[in-house]
Each structure stands twice: as structure tokens, then as C-alpha cells.
Amino acid sequence: MRKVLLPVALLVAIVAMLFTVWSQRADLTTPTGYHAVFLDNNLVMIGKISRLNSRFPLLEDVFYLRPGVNQETKRTVNVVVKRGGEWHGPDRTVLNREHILFIEPVATGSRLDKLMQDVRTRGNPPEAPAEVPAEKAPEPAKP
């Protein structure tokens, strides 16, 4: 009897462990494939996220919001910037999961989706940045 119970108990434990891991998996499918990742330092990074269950999720095809001032109107704006033009030319960003506040999908046709398409098409020259008025930019929730 003991010889039968041990393998059965082991099998039940393995199935329970696999179910737990599978059920905690986040569904990251979106029509655009992009997510806005809000970090605890008020930085918002946008990209295609993977390895979410890892301690260090991966963000690819990355954009971010950079604060700035519109020189014509003197209004504070957030500029949509395509990552990769920096001196080290990053092609991806590895995040520390402990600094992620929350993750939201970027909807098809949303203002951010259109701005990202615009930056992809024309690049991001400093004289004509893709701007999001600061008062309309998403703000992370306070914990």
C-alpha cells in the first residue's frame, strides 16, 4: 500500500505545482502587442514585454516618455522617444520586477499608439518631437 501511495502523492504534488505556475501566468496578448510599464521612479516605458514571471522581465521595441517644454507654447509636455538612439544603442531593456508598479496594454488607435507609429515613421528629431500634453499623460497610481 505504501509503495502505491508514494508515487500517487508525488504525482499529485507535481500536478498541483504545475497548475499553480500555469494559473499565475499573465495574459499579455494585446492587438498592438505593446504595454505601458509604470515604474516606481515615475518613468513610463512602452514596449513588447516578455519573461513577466522572471525576476527581470524583458522589454523590446522600447519607447519611453521624456518630459520637456514646447518652445513655442512654453507648455510642459511628455515627448515620445524611441529607445535605441542613445550612445550605447540599446535594442532591449531588462527591467527589475520589484520596481514595476503596474502594466497596462496600449490599445490600437490610442493616442499613444498613433504617436509611436509617427515616431517609427519619421524618427524622433528634436525639432519636431511627438508630444503628449503633460496634463493628459498617464500618471502612475500612488501605492
Q: pLDDT tens for residues 13-28?
A: 676 666 655 545 555 6
Q: Residue 33: CB partners within 8 Å, gap ≥ 6?
A: 48
DSSP 52: T
Name the grid cell of 84. Answer: 535605441
> Residue holding cell 505556475?
21
Give yes or no for residue 95 having a pLDDT over 60: yes
48 phi/psi in degrees, rounded to 5: -95, 115
d(CA 115, CA 133): 12
Residue 8 vs residue 41, higher pLDDT = 41
d(CA 82, CA 62): 6
pLDDT in tens, 101-119: 999 999 999 999 999 999 8
Percentage of the chain beyond pLDDT 90 is 34
Pick the CATH number of 27-136 from 2.40.50.140, 1.10.3720.10, 2.30.30.100, 3.40.1350.10: 2.30.30.100
Number of neighbouring beta carbons within 10 Å of residue 48: 16
